[in-house]
Amino acid sequence: MQDSLPHFMEEMGIPGISGIDTRALTKKLRSRGTMKGAIIDATDDLEHAFDQLHATVLSDQLVAKVSTTKPYPNPGTKKNIVLIDFGVKHSILRELAARDCNTIVLPYTATAQDILKLHPDGVLLSNGPGDPEMMTEAVAMVAEIQEHLPVFGICLGHQILARANGAKTFKMKFGHRGFNHPVRENATGRIMFTSQNHGYAVDPASIDPEKLIVTHTEINDNVVEGIKHRHYPAFSVQFHPDAAPGPMDAVDLFDDFLQMIDMRKEDKTNA
């Protein structure tokens, strides 16, 4: 069966837009930063539409809208990983499955006690939307869990790990979007091209050098793109290593996470 795209979208209740000057829209966003927007019909009353848009209050509880409400497994036979779902992408689960990890996905509301009673080998903090400053309970959870288990954070998970160690975050004017953001690995000078989609970032001036090391930096604007804890087996990156940037420039970070788990087990055995 064949169907036209407009008819399919109408049947599925999906809004669409065409015929706009995307260059003009891009210039407006580049000069004014991120703004609210609305898609309306050409016949709609513009003044009324603007009034509705200005009156719209955007929720600051975006993670609650996208996180799972119940735990679920992504089975494997090797390392036991707890993945905290702040808005996780399936590509992260695929990378863990490719390494035969036995993953349990928990809601964003999971506490340190919820995690510890599962006896995982490590914890992965997923990507997700919204302001990390709103994630106070998750920050408290990470501050406790990093003392007991290896932690790997991605995107929002990176910002939460930073805040759990006293750093602050801020709203960027434009944010980072797309597959072509060059990031420097500070220890080696290696440049990788990364996939990014975030509107908040870690404030470098707020990082306590006694706790955290900045491991990665965005070349174009010096945004903090990665951190590592000096005392705990915990690290994070602002970009998405699962999203095939480069296309394989950053995927080895999952291997680094699993290796960190092995090293911690060896340290505990030899202690």
If you count them, how many residues does the chain have? 271
Instruction: List all residues 6 or more positions away from 85 whose beta carbon is below 8 Å from its beta carbon.
Output: 67, 68, 105, 106, 107, 108, 126, 128
Alpha carbon distance 68, 50 (integer Å): 34
**Averaged pLDDT for residues 138-157:** 98
Check residues 82 and 46 and name the one with the higher pLDDT: 82
Q: What's the confidence (pLDDT) of residue 267?
A: 83
Q: How far is CA 206 from CA 61, 69, 165, 203, in A?
A: 24, 33, 10, 6
When pLDDT is cut at 50, 70 and 90, the band that residue 33 belongs to is confident
- The proportion of the chain whose per-residue pLDDT surpasses 70, expressed as a percent, equals 100
What is the Cα–Cα distance from 60 to 239, expressed in whole angstroms?
A: 22
> Helices 136-145 and 156-164, interaxial angle, to 10°?
70
Across residues 199-227, what is the average pLDDT? 97
Task: For the domain made up of 64-270, give the CATH fold.
Answer: Rossmann fold (3.40.50)
What local confidence, expressed as pLDDT, does residue 16 receive? 85
Average pLDDT over every residue of 54-59: 86
The string of pLDDT tens digits covering residues 174-195 is 889 888 899 999 999 999 999 9
Of 12-26, 81-95, 170-184, 242-256, highest mean pLDDT: 81-95
**Tokens 């869990």 belong to residue:** 145
Active site residues: 155, 240, 242
Total-model pTM: 0.88
**194, exposed or middle or buried, with CB in 10 Å at 0-12, 13-18, 19+?**
buried
Cα torsion through 260, 239, 180, 134, rounded to 10? 180
pLDDT (tens digit per residue) in 107-141: 999 999 999 999 999 999 999 999 999 999 999 99
Q: How confident is the model at residue 152 (pLDDT cuts 50, 70, 90)?
A: very high
